[in-house]
């Protein structure tokens, strides 16, 4: 698999910013996602937080996942649209986190997970027959099945506040990748109608649960 310059640029930016954050706590605290600070006017945190990571393993996992799926999106759309999907997904993750945690001024988060999840969902829409295997599920499964299961797990994680994980940003990133991909390739509504509907169901479920006060 080739490492395209656009993928390399994103990985390099994440590495440089994250390493600075590891060494400089003031830098980390200034640019992480923080509800109170964002509501006070520091909107830049909604983007900068996506380039900070908690530690090397957090950084590696996100960049490894990006490397694995970025090439699919670049092959279909080219580097410019790939970068646009990445940043739209990053921002969508931050916006959804802001929406769901707006009454929690001390809520904070960092990581490229939202943006990377957006790229993952774009890849699934573009290549739904792709087979994926997870460490705890060694048998390859269609990517869309794992995608839907991951979305459902994110809803559960948001509801139960599972672990120190930004489930909301992951879900928001997936939404960003989903809609941006369909905007760039509306023909998917006709050629992969069932896939488009299936991947929309968890999104509809999330907002239905929110409307009912269940999450």
Check residue 51 and report its DSSP letter: G
Distance from C-alpha of 140 to C-alpha of 179, rounded to nearest angstrom: 26
User: Rounded to an integer, what distance in angstroms lies between the CA atom of residue 192 and that of residue 12?
Assistant: 34
What's phi and psi for 145, nearest 5 deg? -65, -45
Q: What is the pLDDT of residue 210?
A: 83
Whose tokens are 């009912």? That residue is 212
DSSP string, 69-80: HHHHHHHHH-HH
Compute the Cα dihedral for 125, 112, 86, 105 and give only its sign. Answer: positive
Please choose, from the candidates 113, 105, 2, 99, the residue with its C-alpha nearest in 3D space to the C-alpha of residue 49.
Answer: 113
At 51 the pLDDT is 97
Model pLDDT, residue 146: 81
Per residue of the chain (215 residues), what is the pLDDT tens digit?
A: 678 999 999 999 999 999 999 999 999 999 999 999 999 999 999 999 999 999 999 999 899 989 989 999 999 999 999 999 999 999 999 999 999 899 999 999 999 999 999 999 999 999 988 887 665 556 788 888 888 888 888 888 777 765 556 778 889 999 999 999 999 999 999 999 999 999 999 989 988 988 888 87
Considering Cα of 25, then 31, then 35, then 36, what sign does the dihedral take? positive
Residues in the chain: 215
The CA distance from 78 to 72, in Å, is 10
Q: Which residue intervals of 32-187 are DSSP H helices?
A: 35-39, 45-48, 56-77, 79-100, 113-126, 143-160, 167-184
Which residue in the block uniquely carries the two structure tokens 């369909």?
182
Q: How far is CA 25 from CA 15, 18, 19, 47, in A?
A: 16, 11, 11, 18
């Amino acid at each position: 698999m080739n490492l395209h310059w656009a993928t390399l640029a994103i990985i390099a930016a994440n590495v440089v910013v994250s390493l600075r954050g590891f060494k400089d706590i003031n830098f980390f605290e200034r640019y992480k996602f923080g509800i109170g600070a964002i509501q006070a006017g520091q909107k830049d945190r909604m983007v900068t937080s996506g380039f900070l990571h908690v530690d090397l393993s957090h950084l590696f996992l996100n960049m490894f996942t990006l490397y694995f799926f970025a090439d699919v999106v670049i092959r279909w759309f080219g580097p410019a649209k790939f970068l646009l999907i990445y940043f739209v997904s990053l921002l969508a993750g931050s916006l959804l986190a802001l929406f769901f945690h707006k009454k929690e001024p001390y809520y904070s988060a960092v990581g490229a997970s939202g943006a990377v999840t957006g790229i993952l969902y774009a890849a699934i829409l573009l290549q739904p027959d792709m087979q994926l295997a997870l460490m705890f599920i060694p048998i390859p499964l269609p990517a869309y099945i794992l995608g839907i299961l991951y979305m459902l797990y994110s809803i559960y994680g948001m509801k139960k506040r599972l672990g120190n994980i930004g489930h909301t940003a992951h879900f928001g990133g997936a939404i960003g990748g989903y809609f941006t991909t369909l905007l760039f390739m509306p023909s998917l509504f006709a050629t992969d109608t069932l896939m488009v509907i299936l991947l929309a169901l968890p999104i509809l479920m999330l907002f239905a649960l929110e409307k009912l006060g269940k999450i």
